[in-house]
Structure 1
């Protein structure tokens, strides 16, 4: 089985102790997404039976992985996508520029606009979805048939439609009216970036990557400053494969930078180098007209085998095969987790290898990076978060920062989510968790949580706790 994936990757270490979890997520045989070990498909009992068993082996031993797709994705700018068990997608949060895909720009799930249930499923015009990804103001989905489609803001060609027309906002075309992005082969992974340098990157079935949208600063990696797929610069087909120098198994997009895991467990980053977010002990942009190429920059010295990457706005984190986490880039608010605010990988502060493991306090099986905070899913199926605490985005019933030297991650402990977590996703001021019982819980800025609570924050010590707020009513 291939191990393809993006920012919600889960992995296991082989052993004798295992937890059996049953999810009805996607058809047997669809193993692209983020790694977990021991996924065993079975034949469906009927056309509607899409169940599979996930054996999460959590004891010691060597590392290996297969994969499942990201079902929940929180953007770096206040919206959320969720894939239901039947392969339909629902969205909530900020709807500006059509990013939710409901042919309007209204906020969904804030208690003033429509609820998630009233809005219902995004209309794709047919097909089921197995994976979603979000940019700052745009969204993307991969269908079980292998196609991919994006909608929302389109100022640089980040939707892949060879134009700059917004999709899903009620003025431009609806999501169902646009065609799948023309890659010429199946898509196994997709991720969108935010900020002024909006771009999207996808991994295709042959292990190559395509990036499109905003080209200056090198986030696309093509060695020039051209936007791709905006109707003015080159098309996706003309731009071709990003010259990364290896088979890509995961790709993540931050704000103006991009990183990939290669098949040998190495990692490479390109784009804007400010604050050391690319990790090469410099702040030089990579992959643009003026800077070095991705291949010339070579592999990052992460200090171990990489099984998953997560990109925030200006920082990046890697999950290693040992279950350890290493982070680099901008350290403000403690988002790197090292107990200080010293940038890592910029040539002034420590290198990634010198900074060492983030003191999470347990074996990590998935990481996610928001704009200014980071969260990890442990092998206990508990979550720990660090970085900026504003709005309660860390979930500790406080707005205090964690990981900056005042409060360390282990002192903060597990986020009181109220259940076992299967996947975690961090955004700008919001964090969401998919629980093993198919419930979704979100915390942070209240307007965008889908809880119909009219702007009341969750997890900040003033509004409700995560447990008191309860499950997101998505159906």
Structure 2
């Protein structure tokens, strides 16, 4: 019930497919969107951007805030500016470095630290703003505190209460409780000459600043190189300042930009937005559905919003999970036992059992979620390189090659043999593994001979309900165990991967063609034509991953485990 390739490695060799980033577009309602070809076959694109609640664009990178509080960053990573800390955040701000606000009010910063701009003071804050080489925070009581470089006096915040704060290049600005703006720091380009009046929002850039008046008008001041102060008429609810340009968000969701762009496409994408953020020479916006789209300069990858293609897919009987590029795990399908409630953090591998899911964090820790009736969530301590799950138990492969299993202990399914292994596959009541030497060893229930692996050198193994299959070094597939549905009758030819499930198996030929054999009461053997890069099996359905990122599934399902998360473009 896992996606496997012919490369020996992670958890019954889960597939790691490097796909090109796919274009992004608007979020649709929850639930899979499916193009049904016939009763048995469904086609869906995979790897679509996940929703964001906020975005911030900086000098050469950007960061977004996921609905669960996770911060994800993309673009240049020369100074670790993409290494957002794990845990939950309520806000994020990006300049040449990044800072995030935790739910308890703590400010955490990462990235460049030439001038101590990451050294956030202790205490509880309600907002944080990042400039070029300094940061400012608004404390719970309304006091503004700034840290980092003070070359222009941009850290010398005046006393008094503020309701908002903005950090620019060598200046900072804040909105007082009464709506008035006060700026401090370098004034070479008139950066401190804020207009009079009452304001509700403010943004400070390198050489100019803009703010939204109480009546919705935007006013800008400072350097006017290329027209960044020439604000369009009309009402706005938010504004964001770039190098020599600015962008505003109208009440109806339209984004309007003005001024001069350094490079890249200045055309604002179609659609309605809930937020906009201007960086040095690029802009990012959050669409109404939660999708982030960026435009402008792309030299450092700052337009390449993560959450696109999956690298690993794992299928179960009623739910599935995928590992996105960047380490995010997303699950979909049946959620009766919470098997879709993925914990926060970045992961390197994922596996799916009957009613639970497991993943390996980037630090090697294994974590499981979902049903815990049979101790399926009681992962052992220590580091793992891979994990495999099926039925009510899981097995993990440690970096040393040792195997540890947990969950239901019936039939000795947890009694993994000693020694070094290259891959492990968890089946229903048994498991199999490939030793470093290429020998296959199986343990657990042997009522149908599913443990009686043939001799020889193998490069991959699969454990099904009560049969097993392996791929020999020469590409031949051999199966053993129960043969009530002809699931041992592997076709001739050379294969790179094999999967096994209840009464049937599928293999991936060297040509990329998928061939299936055994039980076919639900059409699970009726693989479509064409080339695939991987194959996965559920209880009554199968899925294949095409080179262009499409998933094609065939067979029968009760829930919706066969389709990846909802596509985000029309």
**TM-score between both structures, scaled by the size of structure 2:** 0.43
Q: 2:360, 2:387 within 8 Å by CA — same for their partners in 1?
A: yes
Q: Deviations over 1:50-69 (max 9, x none)?
A: xxxxxxxxxxxxxxxxxx85
1:129 maps to which residue?
310
Aligned ranges 1:68-467 → 2 under 5 Å: 69-70=14-15, 102-103=32-33, 112-113=38-39, 115-116=41-42, 119-122=43-46, 124-125=48-49, 127-160=308-341, 181-184=342-345, 186-194=346-354, 198-221=355-378, 242=379, 244-279=380-415, 300=416, 302-337=417-452, 358=453, 360-394=454-488, 396=489, 415-418=490-493, 420-446=494-520, 447-451=523-527
Question: What's the secondary structure of 2:448's corresponding residue?
Answer: helix
In the superposition, relative to structure 1, how do residues 334 and 114 fare at CA in structure 2: closer, same or farther (>3 Å)?
closer
Question: What's the secondary structure of 2:512's corresponding residue?
Answer: coil
Q: 2:394, 2:405 within 8 Å by CA — same for their partners in 1?
A: yes
Q: Deviations over 1:159-209 (max 9, x none)?
A: 11xxxxxxxxxxxxxxxxxxxx4422x211100111xxx110000100001
Which ranges of structure 1 fall in alignment gaps of 5 or more residues?
1-5, 13-31, 36-67, 72-82, 89-97, 161-180, 222-241, 280-299, 338-357, 397-414, 454-472
Distance in 2 (alpha carbons) for counterparts of 1:121 and 1:251: 26
Q: 1:249, 1:263 within 8 Å by CA — same for their partners in 2?
A: yes
Question: What's the secondary structure of 1:275's corresponding residue?
Answer: helix
In the superposition, relative to structure 1, how do residues 87 and 324 fare at CA in structure 2: closer, same or farther (>3 Å)?
farther
**Bigger fraction of residues in helix:** 1
Question: What's the secondary structure of 2:45's corresponding residue?
Answer: coil
The structural deviation recorded for 1:452 is 7.1
Distance in 2 (alpha carbons) for counterparts of 1:128 and 1:417: 33
Q: 2:462, 2:500 within 8 Å by CA — same for their partners in 1?
A: yes
In the superposition, relative to structure 1, how do residues 33 and 275 fare at CA in structure 2: closer, same or farther (>3 Å)?
closer
Distance in 2 (alpha carbons) for counterparts of 1:86 and 1:362: 37
Distance in 2 (alpha carbons) for counterparts of 1:86 and 1:390: 42
The structural deviation recorded for 1:33 is 4.4
Larger Rg: 2
Question: What's the secondary structure of 2:469's corresponding residue?
Answer: strand
Distance in 2 (alpha carbons) for counterparts of 1:11 and 1:304: 20
Question: What's the secondary structure of 1:248's corresponding residue?
Answer: coil
Q: 1:127, 1:145 within 8 Å by CA — same for their partners in 2?
A: no
In the superposition, relative to structure 1, how do residues 70 and 311 fare at CA in structure 2: closer, same or farther (>3 Å)?
same
Identify which of structures 1 and 2 has the higher relative contact order when contacts are C-alpha pairs closer than 8 Å and 6+ apart.
2
Q: Deviations over 1:72-107 (max 9, x none)?
A: xxxxxxxxxxx796688xxxxxxxxx9xx7447x9x
Distance in 2 (alpha carbons) for counterparts of 1:426 and 1:86: 29
Which ranges of structure 2 fall in alignment gaps of 5 or more residues?
23-29, 50-306, 530-550, 554-570
The structural deviation recorded for 1:416 is 2.1
The structural deviation recorded for 1:393 is 2.1
Question: What's the secondary structure of 2:485's corresponding residue?
Answer: helix
Q: Deviations over 1:15-46 (max 9, x none)?
A: xxxxxxxxxxxxxxxxx8469xxxxxxxxxxx
1:467 maps to which residue?
none
Distance in 1 (alpha carbons) for counterparts of 2:369 and 2:392: 12
Question: What's the secondary structure of 1:218's corresponding residue?
Answer: coil
Distance in 2 (alpha carbons) for counterparts of 1:85 and 1:144: 9
Question: What's the secondary structure of 2:497's corresponding residue?
Answer: strand
The structural deviation recorded for 1:219 is 1.1
Distance in 1 (alpha carbons) for counterparts of 2:11 and 2:410: 28
The structural deviation recorded for 1:434 is 1.6
Distance in 1 (alpha carbons) for counterparts of 2:391 and 2:455: 28
Q: 2:47, 2:310 within 8 Å by CA — same for their partners in 1?
A: no
Distance in 2 (alpha carbons) for counterparts of 1:305 and 1:11: 17
Distance in 2 (alpha carbons) for counterparts of 1:386 and 1:451: 22
Q: 1:7, 1:310 within 8 Å by CA — same for their partners in 2?
A: no
In the superposition, relative to structure 1, how do residues 269 and 123 fare at CA in structure 2: closer, same or farther (>3 Å)?
closer
Q: 2:47, 2:308 within 8 Å by CA — same for their partners in 1?
A: no
Distance in 2 (alpha carbons) for counterparts of 1:376 and 1:85: 27
The structural deviation recorded for 1:122 is 4.2
Alignment length, in residue pairs? 266
In the superposition, relative to structure 1, how do residues 134 and 451 fare at CA in structure 2: closer, same or farther (>3 Å)?
closer
Q: Deviations over 1:196-228 (max 9, x none)?
A: xx110000100001100011221111xxxxxxx
